[in-house]
Amino acid sequence: MKLFRSRKQQSAVSVAKAAPGQPLIQMRDIVKIFKTDAGDFTALKGISIDFYESQFVSVIGKSGSGKSTLVNMITGIDRPTSGTVDIGGTMISSLTESDMARWRGINLGIVFQFYQLLPMLSLIENVKLPMQLAEQYTPAERTDRAMELLTLVGLQDYAFKMPANVSGGQQQSAAIARAIANDPPLIVADEPTGNLDSRSAAMVFALFDELVNQGKTIIMVTHDRHLAARARRTVRIHDGLVVDDGPSHEVIDLSDSGAPHQDLELEEVDPIEHATPETA
């Protein structure tokens, strides 16, 4: 199936592309300070990091270390207090909200832990939505493409179901189909398997692997050290700083691992702060 065919580009925003030999994403001196009732809290303390095209990068670190804050600087969900984010020659940290929305529409697929499908739309309508919003493809092409994408993620028989009527793993697969609807070069996923059983998690990971093979760049925050280790590169965040960055097998030591899909930071998580209703 030829999934990433050329499209009619109707928007003035261009598709992010790294200059030859250059990183796709260049983050420089990123500081993020949150204003809270208790005063200023510095969540990112001056991070400079590059990400290259077709790289599969996992981002790990304790709860509260700054992983989501960091990836939110790339998605434009949040902005740095100071520092710059350049993606394929666009300084996204200084785009206006509306330019950011248009840029994001064709350049970025975002996958969240809780899928965030629109509950009153069927799976196929959810997948079509980004194409409609970014005015990509013709209406007929959108339907064909949405069906192709759902087939890619194994959901061809569920296209007309509502999100509430399929499993968590299926909802996340649909969310991935939606994330790649506009064929974005970059996919950012914040704990995409955090709510899935290990079989569904492995399936989502396999999909990401396939997308990287097709040239996508993926940045994935995860607590699952086995999945993190299977990315090519791993970045470890601690207390708002990058403390480790390199080939995943060098950053993550699996030699002492017990159960598969063991939580990376299990032993470090505060049992009170993270109490579930059952344990509280």
Residues 247-266 that bind ligand ATP (CB under 6 A): none
Binding at 200: pick from ligand ATP, Mg ion, none (beta carbon under 5-8 Å per type): none
Does position 66 interact with ligand ATP (CB under 6 A)? The reply is yes
Say which residue the tokens 């993606």 belong to: 87
**Span from 6-14, 64-72, 152-160, 230-238 in contact with Mg ion (CB under 5 A):** 64-72
Half-sphere exposure of 185 (CA within 13 A, CB side): 19
Residues in the chain: 280
Q: Is 235 helix (H, G, I), strand (E, B) or coil?
A: strand
Exactly one of 68, 72, 126, 193 binds Mg ion (CB under 5 A); that residue is 68
CB of 237 to Mg ion, least distance (A): 10
In the shown chain, the binding pattern of residues 147 to 186 toward ligand ATP, with x for contact by CB under 6 A and - for none, equals ----------------------------------------
CB of 15 to Mg ion, least distance (A): 28
Chain-centroid distance of CA 27 in Å reads: 16
Does position 193 interact with ligand ATP (CB under 6 A)? The reply is no
Interatomic CA distance for residues 134 and 51, integer angstroms:
25
Phi-psi map region of 117: left, alpha, beta (phi>0 left; psi -120 to 50 alpha): beta
Compute CA distances 267 → 62, 110, 140, 197, 270, whole Å: 10, 29, 51, 20, 8
Binding at 11: pick from Mg ion, ligand ATP, none (beta carbon under 5-8 Å per type): none
Chain-centroid distance of CA 275 in Å reads: 26
Binding site for ligand ATP (CB under 6 A): 34, 36, 41, 43, 61, 63-69
